[in-house]
Amino acid sequence: MALWSRKPKEAGPEPLEPAPPFPEFPYHPDPLKTGSIVESGLPCALCGHRFGFVYTGPVFAADDFVEGPLCPWCIADGAAALRLGIEFTDVGEDVPDEVPGRVLDEITERTPGFNGWQQEHWLYHCGDGAAFVGTTEAAGETAYRFRCRHCGIGLAYTDSP
């Protein structure tokens, strides 16, 4: 499986288009705050629109695909995953049995991933995927923070060199 990290280049000279309402991502509620989506004037490589935002997180693909920035709308509606055969998160092998497949599909195919020092993975609680809320750095380690979407408990794992 190939992995690319998307870092947008400078915006082109064309003006931005009026954007539809920003998509909601239940499993990554604020991808602008976490840096997985950033402001950019680049057009989406899939739909061609210049809505002012592009994805900067990881992309997992079985085969090579045409690289280029992807907009949050093509991620949210599943078009990017479906048409390009890509995923945005590796859910890992420790998924609890009670987590439905539709949740895993939502996380891998319609939720922006996040960049990590080592292999990123999602956390689960209450039979569901937790919501990624960001990172915290301390003592040379990065904690990847999640919150249960049902009971609100905080969850985290760390990267260490």
Residue 125: inside a domain:
no
Distance CA 54, CA 158 (A): 27
Residue 108: inside a domain:
yes
Residue 2: what pLDDT? 44
Exposure on the CB side of residue 148, measured as CA atoms within 13 A? 12
- Overall number of domains in the chain: 1
Residue 14: what pLDDT? 63
Give the pTM. Answer: 0.87
Residue 74: inside a domain:
yes
Residue 41: inside a domain:
yes
Q: CB count, 10 Å around CB of 46?
A: 18
Distance CA 145, CA 123 (A): 9
Residue 83: inside a domain:
yes
Please list the rounded mean pLDDT of every run of 10 residues in the chain (161 residues). Answer: 48 71 98 97 95 95 79 98 93 92 98 90 97 92 96 92 61
Residue 43: what pLDDT? 96
Residue 119: what pLDDT? 78
Residue 50: inside a domain:
yes
Q: Which residue has the tokens 């990881």?
A: 58
Residue 64: inside a domain:
yes
Q: Token pair of 81, please?
A: 């995953």
**Residue 12, domain extent:** 2-116
Distance CA 60, CA 12 (A): 26
Residue 11: inside a domain:
yes
Give the 3-state secondary structure of residue 121. Answer: coil
